[in-house]
Structures are given as C-alpha cells and as structure tokens.
Amino acid sequence: MLELEAERIAHGGIAVAHHEGRVVFVADAIPGERVLARVTDDGHDRFWRADTLEVLEASPDRVPHVWAEASVDRAPERRAGGAEFGHIAPVRQRALKAEVLRDALSRFGGIEHEVLVRAVDPALAPGVRADGTGWRTRMRLHVAEDGTVGPYAARSHTVVPVASVPLAVDALAALAPLADRFPGAVSIDLIAPSGDFAQLVVSDGERMPRGERPVTTEIVGDRSFSVDRDGFWQVHRGAAATLTEAVRDAVDADRFDPRAANLDLYGGVGLLAAAVGDRFGDTMRITSVEADERATAHAGANLADWVGARAVTARVDRFLVQLESDAGAGERARLRDATVVLDPPRSGAGREVVDRIAALRPRQLVYVACDPVALARDVGLLRQHGYELEHLEAFDLFPSTHHVEAVARLAAIV
C-alpha cells in the first residue's frame, strides 16, 4: 500500500503521483487529493500503476459517484468501467479535460493555446442531466460465461453485475436487462436513435450477414440521416447537433469556395458534409470519403439535397493518393481553393494522410477530434507544412468520462 498525492490528470483520465522518485498512475483520484492506493502493475522501470482504495484527504470537487457500482467504495476489481470521472464535479471535469488538451497541444503540437471545454447546450440534448448522466444513446453490455449481464470492470474484461446504467438515456436505462441471464450470448447492444424506437440487440459473436443489417433514423435539426443500426453515430444525445453547429461555425466563410473541390474525409453517413452544405447552399461541391461501403451508401442518400455532393467508398489515404495522381491543372486549382473537413478515428489522421492533404494545399482544414494527443500530433505535423491553428472549440460530449471532443480550424499561411 502507498500513500500518494495526486498531482495532475494524464491523458487517459488517470491521476499522476510520485513515490520515491517514480511516477505512479493512480486511478480514481483527483489532483490535490491524498489517497491510499494499491499497486497493480510494477513491471515497468519508469512507472507503476495503482488503484485508489481510500481517499485520505478529499478534493472539494469530489462528489458521490454518479454510478454507485463504479464508486471508490467498491473493491477496484468490482468497479464498473466507463465512468472514470463520475466522482468529480462536472465543472472540474471540464477543467481537467481542458488541461489535458492544452498540455497535449503544447507537447505534441508545439503551440500554447487557451482551451475551454464547454458543456452541451441543453436545448440540443433534451433529457440529458447536468450531473453527467442520461446522455448515452448507444451502449454495450457484456455477457459472462454464466449468462450474467453487465459492463466490464474498469481496465479489465471481467463482467460486473450492476443494478443501474445512469449514463444511458432513460429509454435505454429502462430497456437494459440487468437482472436477466443470456447463456451463450457475447454482448447486448442498446440503441436509442433519435428518429426511431429504442432497441435491444443480443449478439452471439457471429458477424451479421451483409444483406441483413437493419437501418435506423437519426434526426439533427430539420434533417434525417439513415444509418445502420450497428453503424457509427455520435453517442451523446446532443453530439450530432453540437458538432453540426461547431463545424458550420468553424468554416471561415471568406475562405470557402462552394465551387472548389471541397472534401469531407472519414465522412461516415454525411453528417458534417451536410453541416457545411446547410450553411453554403445546395450548389456546394463536396466529396464525402468513407471506407465503410454501407455508410457511403447512406451518405449518398443523406446528401441528395446537394447537386454537387457525392459519396465515395475508399480508404482516405488511398483516395488522396489517387486524387493527387489524377488531378489535372484545373482540378488542382479547385483543390487549392478547397475546404477540407476531416473527422478521423481516435488514432487521428496520422502522418501519411496529413502529408497527402498538405500536398494538395487546401485553403483551410476543419478537424474534428475525439483524442487530444492525436489532434495535437496532427496539428504539429500540419504546422510543419505551413498550416496554423486559428480556431479551437472543445465540448464535453462524454460526461463522467475522461473523453473530450474538439473542433479545430487550421489555415494555410501564405
């Protein structure tokens, strides 16, 4: 056992402490607290990992955990995972997330930039509670060998029985079969689309046949989006509307040319391309690129209101290689006038994609990111190509967790 003083929050939501000169990453502690912790991993020369067992000196920002089954009062191996900030007052949660993003931009992006993480506007997220609960419209429960249902314990693959799922929207919380058993099943998905009824899907681990994927409807403002029931969609009830507004506002109108070869990379079912189109009109030209064939098919239909919109099924890196290879002088000029929106996976766009985008020299980039370090790394790479960060907004789309979403605009500096 160690007595540790938590100093700051690291990327990943774990507090940083020191013991006899060694870094200790300790879960379930808040910076400024003194805790009694048990080391769980001492196999590294430079750091250890530990779990908080008891809070000796509590932060004024410590609150009763929003999920009793994830509380520090439980043994670490019995704490439900997925709500690692649920013991922290929401205002402090957002401040800690801002610190992580600001630090990442400094260390990996080479820039000092002020960051404010904003709560989702309640008007965009009906039913979501200010205490960091009631926001998840999609969640997965796992099934143990004996059929017991529950989330995994934090940082493990052990199924933990629970009596509640407070992060879920009310429709999913009511639907969750927490007291039932499902022998032979692997997982249970709960989905509450904004334009459809709440659904429970039991999976035995077998992949669903391509032709049998059910489709649901999501509503964002006045628009409807078709998306596969098991396809990607933003999890927070107000996330799609929040990002629609943020991306629309992030585009610099003075740099936007509706006739340019505008791009929506990692475009999914076309949510962000539609956001740009709603601002700049139905003659806007934009190509949405997505590797998932089903998502691309939905994007084609979802973007049908724009005569210049098209959806392409391709890996983004391969699409950019082909685009550069095939572009004639006229298309190269239209690419230089372009706005590029990109919403890459958690790992970020990466060097190859960043290099390919920069080679096309678009006027501006609007980058949507769910990982601070990946965003900062890509910002640093883009700065090497002469792009600078001009605009940054961050949103608390994952309350009671360490995750944060950011929307950044970078522009080519002539």
Question: Are 373 and 108 a contacting pair, CB within 8 Å?
Answer: yes
Burial class of residue 165 in the structure, from the number of CB atoms within 10 Å of its CB (0-12 exposed, 13-18 middle, 19+ buried): buried
Report the C-alpha gap between 331 and 104 in whole angstroms.
36
Question: Are 39 and 25 a contacting pair, CB within 8 Å?
Answer: no
324 known member of a binding site: no
- Which of 370, 375, 376, 406 is flagged as catalytic? 370
Q: Which residue has the tokens 């879960």?
A: 27
Question: Are 70 and 83 a contacting pair, CB within 8 Å?
Answer: yes
Q: Beta-strand (E) ranges in 21-134?
A: 22-27, 34-41, 47-57, 117-118
Report the C-alpha gap between 27 and 304 in whole angstroms.
48
Report the C-alpha gap between 310 and 296 in whole angstroms.
9
- Tokens representing 103 are 């630090």
290 known member of a binding site: yes
370 included as an active-site residue: yes
CA-to-CA dists, residue 57 to 6, 26, 36, 60, angstroms: 10, 15, 10, 10
Backbone angle region of 305, left / alpha / beta, with phi > 0 → left and psi within -120 to 50 → alpha: alpha
Tell me the H-state helices in 47-157: 90-109
Q: Beta-strand (E) ranges in 323-375?
A: 339-342, 364-369
Q: Which residue has the tokens 């724009």?
A: 306
266 known member of a binding site: yes
Report the C-alpha gap between 116 and 100 in whole angstroms.
11
Question: Within 13 A of 227's CA, how many CA atoms are on the CB side?
Answer: 25
Catalytic residues: 370
Residue list, annotated binding site: 234, 266, 290, 343
Residue list, annotated binding site for S-adenosyl-L-methionine: 234, 266, 290, 343
